[in-house]
Structure 1
Amino acid sequence: MKAVQFRAHGGRDVIEYSDFPDPEVARHEALVDVKAGALNHLDVWTRRGLPGLDLPFPHVPGSDMAGVVQQVGEDVTRVSPGDRVALLAGIVGESGGTGDGADAERHDDPTFAPDFRIIGENTRGVHSEYASVPAENLVRVPEHVPWEVAGSASLVFQTAWRMLIYRAEVRAGERVLVHGASGGVGHAAVQIADYAGCEVYATASSAEKLDYAADCGADHGIDYEVEDFADAIYELTDGRGIDVVVDHVGEATYGDSLKCLRKGGRFVTCGATSGPNPGAALNRIFFNQLEVIGSTMATPEQAEEVLELVWDGVFEPRIRETLPMSETARAHEIIENREGFGKVVVIPDSEL
């Protein structure tokens, strides 16, 4: 089969689309004929090389995909050949699968388990013609859902859903600031905050992106290229501040995000694309009694909750571009250069 892969960490030039051994199917796995996948910032970091990441090469990236089950292992009952499925990328345990959370540190939540990993980051990914994955990591996709939607929704919508609904516990009427509203997690968070009845403030780098954010449910848009977002929030809220900041940017936004929060406000983060080590600003945190909350992925139950809303059309993954997998380097370029709004989808060349 053909697969996206790289044989060393580096720039976009290390990415190739070439022959790769057909996957074997273990007892607990299902073989999926991949119809579409999507990129995330995680794919860029994995290709560049994360600290402590020790991958066997060549590595196949990709944490989002959808397709048709072709074969199942002898222990599999969750899915059957012919099923339309999408991937939940979080896995726990040596054999894979999300498990039942029994070894999680708290809340029976597998994302707290010490061996929680992400398909495509810590293990072989799914941007290939075929992928063999733990059957427990698959959810069914209704017939009416296009492959581009099914293959691009899972990671970003489950991440944003957990951040807002379960970690920050947003309530109707609260003011929520979403950074990077044109990106995958950002545009999902705008839709979820609007769905929860919040007043949504969105930042992006152009008027065009802010128009898209407004279409997704943002009530106020701030172009951070032309105005200071903390000053803008002060003006827009008459000095009251924001209840919740949703952030995946990190160093570039952290300090001013804390300034935006009202006393008792919450800052929830799932990433740090601009750098992981901002100044702590402990004085602002303790004096204003702020909460700084980390969030990673979602439990299988949380992921299925939000994906049902995607399948029903309540939420929509916006697609900025669809490319053949042989052009995955260009897909990385789009993400790195922050071009466009929404998700970048890749499709096996054999499907085009």
Structure 2
Amino acid sequence: MQVQQTREFGTPDVFEAAEVALPEPGPGQIRVRQIASSVNPVDTKLRAAGPAIAPALPAVLGCDVAGEVDAVGDNVRRFVPGDAVYGCAAGLVGRGGAYGEYVVVDAELMAAKPANLGWRETAALPLVTITAWEALVDRARVVPGDHVLIHGGTGGVGHIAIQIAKAQGARVATTVSSADKAAIARRCGADETIHYREESVEDYVERLTGGRGFDVVFDATGGSDLAKSFAAVRVNGQVVTIVSQYSADLTPMHTKSLTLHAVFMLTAMLHGVNPAHHAEILTKAGGLVAAGQLMPLLDERRFNLGDVGAAHAHLEAGAALGKIVIDIADEARNA
């Protein structure tokens, strides 16, 4: 089969085409004929730095899987060849990556593809949807009436988080950097938008909450937004972050009696902690898709399997608006 692999970690031009043996599924695994995948920030970080969680070199990267079951291993009961599936199940240490024509994955991480969603949209969903779900539903337990602030509402995770929070019955505010992005955030369901370059935290907290603060703040961007999150949340409120690999002053947590959640959705794959829950999340997400409550935003640029390096460069340049999809098979390339 054809793959895009790297023999060293570094810049996006490290990817090269290669032909490798077709992998065989082991017990509890399925082989998926890949139709599409996507590019996430974690994929670029694995390619650039090769941390301990990266596959061994030569490495095939790519976490998001979307395709048809081609073969099943022993003890697999949920899927049969021909089933359309999706999941975040590849591209880490000890696992093949999704940037290839086939990939072997653990069946328990996978869910049935949403019937009314195209392959390109399906490939865009797994990692970002699981991340947003774990943050807002599993950790913060957002309920109807909660006032939720999402930093980075047009990002890959952020635009999905808006939709999940709305599906939970929340009132949603989000930060944006332009009028165009504010319009996109509102199309995703945001009730309120904040031009963070033009309005201070104190001002928008006063304007939108009467100075009380938000019930839940979701930091999907990192950096200084964690401090802004502490400033924006109410007393006894909750902050969830997905980017916390830096030092931060936690004093405001103490003075406001806050709860801080750190979410890294790859933990289930890395440590084997309740991986089946990811399939449960994606199954529920499929229900939201069917109900018209969830739809990914796709970047307008198109990339094929041979363009993985260019797709990574596009994401790292900050030029993408929406998820970057890799079209692998004809079902995606011709969509």
Which range, TM-score by smaller chain? Answer: 0.7 to 0.9
Assess, with a 3 A threshold, how the Cα gap between structure 1 residues 230 and 3 changes in structure 2: closer, same or farther.
farther
Cα distance in 1 for partners of 2:163, 2:303 equals: 25
SS at match of 1:173: coil
Matched, 1:296 2:275: no
Counterpart of 1:206 in structure 2 is 178
Distance 2:202 2:61 in 1: 36
Matched, 1:56 2:25: no
State how far apart, in whole Å, the 1-side matches of 2:167 and 2:78 are.
Answer: 31
What residue identity is the alignment partner of 2:314? I
Q: How many residues align?
A: 319
Match of 1:112 in 2: none
Residue 218 of structure 2 is aligned to residue 246 of structure 1: yes
- SS of the residue 1:320 aligns to: coil
Aligned equivalent of 1:341, options 321, 324, 330: 321
Distance change in 2, residues 1:265/1:308 (3 Å): same
Aligned residue in 2 for 1:18: 18
Aligned: 1:166 with 2:146: no
- The question of whether the paired residues in 2 share the 8 Å contact of 1:326 and 1:349 is answered with no
Matched residue type, 1:2 = Q
CA distance in structure 1 between the partners assigned to 2:148 and 2:215 by the alignment? 6
Q: Report the Cα distance in structure 1 between the residues aligned to 2:201 and 2:314, rounded to whole angstroms.
A: 24
Structure 2, gaps ≥5 residues long: 269-276
- C-alpha contact 2:152 2:221 (8 A) present in aligned 1: yes
- Which amino acid is 1:325 matched to? L
User: SS of 1:124's equivalent?
Assistant: coil
Query: Aligned ranges for residues 1-352 of structure 1 at < 5 Å?
Result: 1-49=1-49, 51-53=51-53, 55-89=55-89, 119-122=90-93, 123-272=95-244, 276-282=245-251, 284-297=252-265, 299-300=277-278, 301-321=280-300, 322-348=302-328, 352=333
Give the Cα–Cα distance (whole angstroms) in 2 for the partners of residues 238 and 333 of structure 1: 42
CA contact (8 A) 1:203 1:229 kept: no
User: Residue 318 of structure 2 aligns to a residue in which SS?
Assistant: coil
Question: What secondary structure does 1:292 align onto?
Answer: strand
How has the CA–CA distance of structure 1 residues 193 and 65 changed in structure 2, closer, same or farther, with 3 Å as cutoff? Answer: same
Indicate if the aligned counterparts of 1:28 and 1:74 stay in contact, CA closer than 8 A: yes
Q: Is the 8 A contact 2:54 2:91 kept in 1?
A: no
CA contact (8 A) 2:216 2:238 kept: yes
Provide Cα deviations, 1:155-213, integer angstroms capped at 9, x if missing partner: 21121112111200112222111111111111111111122222211112222112111
TM-score for the superposition, normalised by structure 2: 0.88
Letter in 2 for 1:179: H
Indicate the SS of the match to 2:17: strand
Q: Deviations over 1:77-135 (max 9, x none)?
A: 2211111111242xxxxxxxxxxxxxxxxxxxxxxxxxxxxx31323211211111122
Q: Name the % identity.
A: 34
SS of the residue corresponding to residue 157 of structure 1 reads helix
C-alpha change, 1:320 and 1:132, in structure 2 (3 Å) is same
Structure 1 runs (4+) greater than 3 angstroms displaced: 50-55, 225-231, 349-352
1:237 deviation in Å? 2.2
Match of 2:272 in 1: none
Q: Is the 8 A contact 2:154 2:322 kept in 1?
A: yes
Structure 2 residue matching 1:121: 3-state secondary structure = coil
Q: Is the 8 A contact 1:87 1:154 kept in 2?
A: yes
Residues 5 and 61, structure 2, Cα contact 8 Å, conserved in 1: yes
User: Hey, what does 2:274 align to over in structure 1?
Assistant: none
Q: 1:36 to 1:55 in 2, by over 3 A?
A: closer
Gaps of 5+ in 1: 90-118
The one-letter code matched in structure 1 to 2:148 is V
Structure 2 CA distance, aligned partners of 1:143 and 1:198?
Answer: 27
The farther-off stretch of 49-58 and 235-244 is: 49-58
Answer yes or no: is the 8 Å Cα contact 1:71–1:81 preserved in 2: yes
Retained in 2: the 8 A contact 1:234–1:260?
Answer: no
Q: What is the alpha-carbon distance in structure 1 between the residues aligned to residue 286 and residue 247 of structure 2?
A: 33
CA gap 1:131/1:205 in 2 versus in 1, 3 angstroms? same
Cα deviation, residue 142, structure 1 = 4.6
Q: Take 1:126 and 1:209, find their aligned partners in 2: how far apart are those partners?
A: 30
CA distance in 2 between counterparts of 1:336 and 1:155 reads: 18
Could you tell me how far 1:21 is from its partner in structure 2? Answer: 2.9
Q: Secondary structure at the match of 2:124?
A: coil
Q: Aligned AA for 1:326?
A: G
